[in-house]
Amino acid sequence: MTPQDVIRVELAMLAWREGFRHGGIKNMLAVAFVVRNRVNAGWLAGDWLKIISSHDEYSSMVMMHPEHYRTEANIGNIPNFHHRTVRDLLVEVDFIFDGTKNDDLTEGALYYGELNSIQNPWFLENIARKPEDHPRVATIGPVSFFR
């Protein structure tokens, strides 16, 4: 196993955990594209694993304070690797990671969220309420994507 294999696995798991509750492969791929966009933008020195492991950025990865956020984390859930959607995701993640898949569904987005249930006050104030700074560039299912 190589370091790149580890990154691909982590990227696929994050994409699945964040995207599966929104109903399909498009949301999963969109999450992977946002991570790649953050890498390309130089977030955390362009380090894939640091960006992926930024737990406070991903609602599916952490247990959050119940007064402000939902308290259900998806970190312990494992995908069914026999399911076609999961197999498709694994193939597509390779292409997103190595840069050969360029049809970014998110149009270069760096942020995303469900506008009908924003649970992060920082996202609401700094992204959703500042379209002049962070325009919405895509919507996939219930999730909006911003630059």
pLDDT in tens, 13-37: 999 988 877 768 999 999 999 999 9
The mean of the pLDDT values for the chain is 86
Q: What gap in Å lies between CA 101 and CA 133, rounded to an integer?
A: 27
Q: What is the mean pLDDT of residues 5-18?
A: 94
Residues 19/78, Cβ–Cβ less than 8 Å? no
In terms of Cβ atoms closer than 10 Å to its own Cβ (0-12, 13-18, 19+), residue 133 is: exposed
pLDDT in tens, 49-96: 999 988 556 554 444 444 444 444 555 678 888 999 999 999 999 999
Contacts of 17 (CB under 8 A, 6+ apart): 58, 60, 61, 74, 75, 77
User: Which pTM was predicted?
Assistant: 0.86
pLDDT at 86: 93
**Residue extents of the structural domains in the chain:** 3-104
